[in-house]
Amino acid sequence: MSRVRVHNFSISLDGFATGAGQSLEQPFGHAEARLHEWFFQTRTFRSMHGEAGGGAGVDEAVASAWEPGIGAEIMGRNKFGPQRGPWADDEWQGWWGENPPFHTPVFVLTHHPRPSLPMAGGTTFHFLDATPAEALRQAREAAGELDVRIGGGPTTVREFLAADLIDHLHIVVVPIILGRGVRLWDDLEGLEKRFTVESVTTPRGVTHVTFSRP
Amino acid sequence: MSRVRVHNFSISLDGFATGAGQSLEQPFGHAEARLHEWFFQTRTFRSMHGEAGGGAGVDEAVASAWEPGIGAEIMGRNKFGPQRGPWADDEWQGWWGENPPFHTPVFVLTHHPRPSLPMAGGTTFHFLDATPAEALRQAREAAGELDVRIGGGPTTVREFLAADLIDHLHIVVVPIILGRGVRLWDDLEGLEKRFTVESVTTPRGVTHVTFSRP
């Protein structure tokens, strides 16, 4: 059975995976880039953006696991864009430009479905109003033998964790106190009992916490 | 100037420093002993309880810093005992038996003061209805040249952090999801900007995060 995986999911020490006040200018709200600085310096992130070089240590080793073996992604609508409610039009194509870094089908969970959106490089956005289990069924069908990535944001990851649909969860704890935003851990008491948990701090000061099925 | 220090303060990955439902049988509520297992195996903890042996690695090195140089402690009433509201009588003498491990004056913050309580081994509990700043003034006077420890619980530590009265904060993140209890980090947005922050994970799987004045 293929696995369902979360990778490179950054949270603050107080558990927020995004700040308050998401907008077109600030996809992570008042958190700005602070949750992801550890990621920006990796070779994986730089190559996603067509740049050479970057760190090649443990941060990179862990970060690079996000792509191999993935056949589809599921993301929440708030990861796809800053709009809320019905779509004013179909012009918004995500934050990632003409050639998004996914290169697979991407299922966007929204109460306001719209036509599928094929992009360059193999990414197609599909819009679904569905439960986590139903979305996963469709993503698995699209992924074939490959794994499915749950791409975020925090509300989506939390819903899939609550439904016990995730097999591998990679969290990056960044030692900042955001104070407000969207929390990852609410209503997940005892989550660790379903997983083998491993933690490691890297010289950049973040802690990679991995939950994997025993 | 003497410093104000917090040591060995354990929190869950979702930020709770104690569980829900504190009682005489469960001082940490439904968290039971899970936040402190890393500590129980150290030489420091074992010697506090008159036992020999114990771990002597990095957990121990960090844990052992809690005592040297401390001349007084301030704690919240919920660390002192499970009672709430007016004291029924003066019989409760804390959780720690006749010879508590503090060996200094200990100032217990409570809206219900009662007579000071001298114990064996140099610990005297004083009961104060005071602001953090006023309590610290009295503790500093008692401590002389030595430092003052803020002993917890989470509400007390948070109030002293909010008032910017803490110089050294040692937090231990335990990778469990408690889901309910008392949070440490609420309303402390941007706390890290006042400190130099260092994180290290030990083989036991906890992450020691140290905030110290730059």
Residues of chain B contacting residue A13, judged by C-beta atoms under 8 Å apart: 15, 173, 185, 192, 209
Whether the pLDDT of residue B116 is over 90: the answer is: yes
Residue-number span of the structural domain to which A37 is assigned: 4-82+101-212
Residue B90 lies inside a defined structural domain of this protein:
no
User: Rounded to whole angstroms, how far apart are CA atoms A59 and A56?
Assistant: 7
Q: How much is the pLDDT for B14?
A: 97
Mark A87-121 as b/e (b = at least 16 C-beta within 10 Å).
eeeeeeebebeeebbbebbbbbbbeeeeeebebee
Across B68-81, average pLDDT: 97
Across A133-145, average pLDDT: 98
Locate the chain A residue with the closest alpha carbon to B186.
A179
Token pair listed for A31: 């958190």
Residue A95 lies inside a defined structural domain of this protein:
no
Using CA of residue A46, residue A52, residue A54, residue A60, what is the dihedral sign?
positive
Q: How much is the pLDDT for A142?
A: 98
Which residue in the set B192, B198, B207 is minimally distant from A177, CB to CB?
B192
Q: What φ, ψ does residue B181 adopt, rounded to 5°? A: 135, -150
Decide the pairing of beta strands A124-128 and A147-152: unpaired
Q: What is the pLDDT of residues A177-193, one digit of tens each?
A: 999 999 999 999 999 99
Q: How much is the pLDDT for B30?
A: 96
For chain B, what is the mean pLDDT? 96
To the nearest whole angstrom, how far is the Cα of A195 from the nearest Cα of chain B?
11
Whether the pLDDT of residue B140 is over 90: the answer is: yes
For chain A, what is the mean pLDDT? 96
User: Rounded to whole angstroms, how far apart are CA atoms A13 and A175?
Assistant: 5
Whether the pLDDT of residue B1 is over 90: the answer is: no
SS3 content of chain A, % helix, strand, coil (to 5): 25, 30, 45
User: Rounded to whole angstroms, how far apart are CA atoms A40 and A52?
Assistant: 12
To the nearest whole angstrom, how far is the Cα of B45 from the nearest Cα of chain A?
23
Residue A128 lies inside a defined structural domain of this protein:
yes
Q: What is the CA radius of gyration of chain A?
A: 16
Whether the pLDDT of residue B49 is over 90: the answer is: no
To the nearest whole angstrom, how far is the Cα of B14 from the nearest Cα of chain A?
6
Locate the chain A residue with the closest alpha carbon to B16.
A14
Whether the pLDDT of residue A213 is over 90: the answer is: yes
**Geometric angle at alpha carbon B119, from B6 and B146, rounded to 5°:** 35
User: Rounded to whole angstroms, how far apart are CA atoms B71 and B67?
Assistant: 9
Decide the pairing of beta strands A124-128 and A117-118: antiparallel
In sequence order, which ranges of chain B are alpha helices (DSSP H)? 37-40, 43-48, 58-63, 77-80, 132-143, 154-162
Which residue in the set B173, B178, B188 is minimally distant from A189, CB to CB?
B178
Q: How much is the pLDDT for B183?
A: 97
Across A73-97, average pLDDT: 95
Which residue in the set B175, B186, B197 is minimally distant from A199, CB to CB?
B175
Predicted confidence band at A86 (pLDDT cuts at 50, 70, 90)?
very high
- What ipTM was reported for this prediction? 0.93
Whether the pLDDT of residue A35 is over 90: the answer is: yes
Whether the pLDDT of residue A7 is over 90: the answer is: yes
Predicted confidence band at A1 (pLDDT cuts at 50, 70, 90)?
confident
Q: Provide the CATH number for the domain around residue B13.
A: 3.40.430.10
Q: How much is the pLDDT for A49?
A: 86
- The count of other CB atoms within 10 Å of the CB of residue B127 is 21
Across A132-142, average pLDDT: 98
Q: How much is the pLDDT for B32?
A: 94
Residue B65 lies inside a defined structural domain of this protein:
yes
Contact at CB, A14 and B188, closer than 8 angstroms: yes
Residue B124 lies inside a defined structural domain of this protein:
yes
Residue A96 lies inside a defined structural domain of this protein:
no
Decide the pairing of beta strands A124-128 and A105-109: parallel
The count of structural domains within chain A is 1
Helix (H) or strand (E) run with residue B150 in it: strand B147-152
Predicted confidence band at A13 (pLDDT cuts at 50, 70, 90)?
very high
Q: What is the pLDDT of residues A193-203, one digit of tens each?
A: 999 999 999 99
Please give the single-letter amino acid code of residue B56: A
Residue A88 lies inside a defined structural domain of this protein:
no
Residue A48 lies inside a defined structural domain of this protein:
yes
Q: Give the predicted TM-score (pTM) of the model.
A: 0.95
Peptide bond into A94 cis (omega under 30): no
